[in-house]
Amino acid sequence: MTASHAIRAEFRGTIGKFALDAGFTAPAKGVTALFGPSGCGKTTVLRCIAGLLRINGVCEIDGEVWQDENGAFLPTYKRPLGYVFQEASLFQHLSVRRNLLFGAPRHDRSGIKGGIVFDEVVELLGINRLLDRSPRNLSGGERQRVAIGRALLSQPKLLLMDEPLSALDRATKNEILPFLERLRDHLNLPVVYITHDIAEVERLADQMVLMEKGHVIGAGPLEELQSDPSLPLAAARDAAVSFEGVVQASDEAYSLVTLKIRGGSLTAPAPPAPVGERRRIRVIAGDVSLTREAPGPSSILNVLPARVVSMKPVDSNEIIVVVALGADGDGARLLARVTRKSSEALGLSEGVGVYAQVKAVALAPGRGELG
């Protein structure tokens, strides 16, 4: 029970035929993603945290006990939380403005330090011109933004989001993600965010809780979970790792940006970016190949020394190799998907020094590129 864990949730019980036995802790600030396949219990856990569903368990937020093993249970309306549902669920009989203010406290506490201000939220979410409209006349993306604003204006201490982007098409999703990133950066609020889309996790989340069939099978920083070979993430066909890098230099002539990461640096195609800017980087396992010796001139820009950390067979003829960058193997971890044949031919095993050739690096849009 360290102070850094602001959220503690554990639930054990059966709902119909579904058995849930899941628990996790999450920090006081930042986005914790609840991730897993459909039906694994993510929504059930979220509803338990919110008090919309009651099963045996413990739920503590920032020292406040919302539920404990001795029968204490705070009803939902007494919990200072915000909840964003998958389908906006705006009140049809109220205008956007009145929807937004529905949960806002009677006495304007937004002036209190740290309080969430109406105008700020409206600006952050870009919903200014929608204020006097009826929810019926909004697009899916607009509705969801209003729903998020409504949850925020109730001055929550915890924000719960249940697949807020799942019901939207790709274009709308990409339109809203920047808003969510801005929210994360501006607000001092813990968020538990459910999604089944790893891209959303990579863009938004700092921590991840991985669930499967009602159980938590992994929890921790995203990087760690992605490069853990015992978890299903690493074994997936589109397995990837994502981590943060700091912009070191921009090459305008060739439209390349170089970023410093733990254990080395990566160059990626991107418009010029200010030095020192933090950017999220994504490297797909299938884009990483390995050699035992430093390769000669090659079209691949990124060749980094690394050390093999672990190996795990997937399918009948491939192996996922986890390598840590840097000659000592202390740096960021990458996944490489190689054939068993190659692996044996190269004599790969734990601790062996290799060179990781990263064919493609994806960069999340920088501040200057955000809408």
Q: Which residues contact 195 (CB under 8 A, 6 or more apart)?
A: 33, 34, 35, 163, 165, 166, 201
- Least Å distance, CB 96 to another protein, is 15
Figure out which of the listed residues 31, 45, 50, 177 binds another protein, where binding follows CB under 8 A: 50
Buried-exposed string 89-125: b where 16+ CB fall within 10 A, e elsewhere: ebeeeebbbebbbebbeeeeebeeeeebebeebbebb
The end-to-end CA distance of the chain, in Å, is 40
Rounded-to-integer distance, Cα 40 and Cα 215, Å: 8
The candidate with the shortest Cα–Cα distance to 239, out of 196, 282, 288, 285, is 285
Name the residue nearer to another protein (CB basis): 149 or 366.
149
The Cα-based distances of 330 to 233, 264, 265 in angstroms read 22, 10, 14
Answer yes or no whether residue 132 interacts with another protein by CB under 8 A. no
Answer yes or no whether residue 105 interacts with another protein by CB under 8 A. yes
Answer yes or no whether residue 299 interacts with another protein by CB under 8 A. no
Name the residue nearer to another protein (CB basis): 24 or 85.
85
Name the residue nearer to another protein (CB basis): 145 or 282.
145
Structure tokens at 168: 């939207």
- Least Å distance, CB 155 to another protein, is 9
Structure tokens at 195: 């999604």
Answer yes or no whether residue 178 interacts with another protein by CB under 8 A. no
Name the residue nearer to another protein (CB basis): 78 or 292.
78
Name the residue nearer to another protein (CB basis): 64 or 238.
64
Answer yes or no whether residue 52 interacts with another protein by CB under 8 A. yes
Name the residue nearer to another protein (CB basis): 90 or 334.
90
Figure out which of the listed residues 11, 85, 179, 193 binds another protein, where binding follows CB under 8 A: 85
Beta bridge partners of 215: 21, 212
Which element (helix H / strand E) includes 11?
strand 5-15
Phi-psi region of 329 (alpha: psi -120 to 50; beta: other; left: phi over 0): left
Radius of gyration of the chain (CA): 23
Figure out which of the listed residues 3, 70, 93, 113 binds another protein, where binding follows CB under 8 A: 93
**Applying CB under 8 A, which part among 15-23, 98-106, 186-194, 336-344 lies near another protein?**
98-106
Q: How many residues bind another protein (CB under 8 A)?
A: 23
Name the residue nearer to another protein (CB basis): 85 or 243.
85
- Least Å distance, CB 93 to another protein, is 5
Which residues contact another protein (rule: CB under 8 A)? 50-52, 75-78, 80-83, 85, 89, 91-93, 102-103, 105, 136, 150-151, 154
